Amino acid sequence: MLSPVVRSLSGSTRSNAPTRRWFKAWLSKPRFLTPALMGIATLLASVWLAAAVHATSYPGVNQLLNTNTCQSCDLRGANLRGSYLVGANLAGVDLRGADLTGSDLRQADLVGADLRSANLTGTNLNGASLVNTDMRGADLNGADLTGSDLTRANLTGANLLLAQLSASDLAGVDLSNTDLRNIYLENTNLRGANLASAYMVSAELVGANLREADLSSANLSSANLRNASLREANLRGTNLSRTSLRGADLTRASLQGADLSQSDLEGASLEEADLKGTNLVQANLAGAKLVRANLEGANIKDAILTNTELCSATLPDRKKHRC
């Protein structure tokens, strides 16, 4: 954030005329300038020039820093590193390519904002409203998004490494093709989210709401989905090998061609699920409910089927299991 001195120097050309005259007069008297003072003068002049150029290029920056509001402003490429913008009104603002590294945007209103390719490394967005925000390609490395509302936000290709998203609302969010390895999303609302082809190896999704979510072709190998809700989710071609789905709800989920080898599905609900052609080699299905599920062509070699409910299920050989 610009200091008060720099901000005062970055105002209009007319208001800064006396300041510029003072600089020129002072610099014209070399008898007062020791090497140390010359260095200080050069630094101050550089800061003043940078601030003046910055304010001229981004007139909305001064408005934002002075009033904490800049609704629908054009701040593309603006330098707002370390800015204190708690509760700021930035609805609809254009911040494409802007640098917000380490800024404090707690409780800020960024509804409908354009943050494509913005640098939000280490930014505090705790409790911020990011509904319908476009954050494609944004760098959110280490950002704090705890309790933020990201409903229907577009995060395709965003860097979320070490980002904090616990208790956030991610309903309908677009995270397709995004690197989410080791992401912590326990008890997070991801209902209807687009996670197609997302890289989610070792992700923590305990108790997460993924109902009706699109996880097709995603890589969830070794992820933790214990007690998660995946009702009617699209898991076609998804890699769920060595994944914990213990107690998960997969009722009417589509799992055609998915890899569930060595996965833990103990006590999971797979009623009416489509498991056609699924790899269930060495999977643990003990106590799982597969009532009316379709297992046609599935590979259940060495799978644990102790107390598994298969009433009216279609078996790998296309035969119906008797109740």
> pLDDT, tens digit, for every residue of 1-14?
443 333 333 333 33
Sorting pLDDT into bands at 50, 70 and 90, what band is 60?
A: confident
Sorting pLDDT into bands at 50, 70 and 90, what band is 57?
A: low
Tell me if 248 sits within 8 A of 267, measured CB to CB: no
Tell me if 242 sits within 8 A of 223, measured CB to CB: no
What average pLDDT does range 258-283 have in this prediction?
A: 98
What average pLDDT does range 93-106 have in this prediction?
A: 97
pLDDT for residue 222: 98
Backbone dihedral region for residue 149 (phi beyond 0: left; psi -120 to 50: alpha; all else: beta): beta
The residue assigned the tokens 């494409």 is 96
Model confidence at 52: pLDDT above 50: no
Q: Which two tokens stand for residue 64?
A: 């934002």
What average pLDDT does range 254-268 have in this prediction?
A: 98
Model confidence at 31: pLDDT above 80: no
Chain segment 163-198, per-residue pLDDT in tens:
999 889 999 999 999 999 999 999 999 999 999 999
Give the bridge partners for 149, in sequence order.
Answer: 129, 169
Q: Which two tokens stand for residue 159?
A: 């860097």
In single-letter form, the type of residue at position 201 comes to: V
Sorting pLDDT into bands at 50, 70 and 90, what band is 225?
A: very high
From CA 146, how far away is CA 102, in angstroms rounded? 15
What average pLDDT does range 198-221 have in this prediction?
A: 97
